[in-house]
Amino acid sequence: AALPFRFDVHAMIYSENAPELESKLHKHFNDRRINKVNYRKEFFEAKLEEIKEIVEQLGHTALFHPIPEAKEYRQTLQVIENINKIEIKDTTILDIDTLPSSI
């Protein structure tokens, strides 16, 4: 409910003790928490390759999806791109060399 887009799976990590793995990952990425006040909000800023590396170092098998569907996110990027095109099209570009010298 607190995410801006539908949830996309980037990886499936197999573990006999998921709570322990989660704790280790949280400790590893603790300095990159998104919410520095409410630690129950478990979001971190990390590249998928970094996560893959630490998961492998911890001895776990994982299936990573480097390019998830992210349909709503990609649609949003397209909307933003279209808005930017409209804004650029509506902007009048003046050639400074053709302006009267009295301006």
DSSP string, 20-34: HHHHHHHHHTGGGBS
Above 60 in pLDDT, residue 9? Answer: yes
pLDDT tens readout for residues 55-103: 999 999 999 988 888 899 999 999 999 888 876 666 655 555 665 665 5
Residue 38, SS3 per DSSP? coil
Q: What is the pTM of this model?
A: 0.64
Task: Report the half-sphere exposure of 98 (CA within 13 A, side-chain side).
Answer: 3
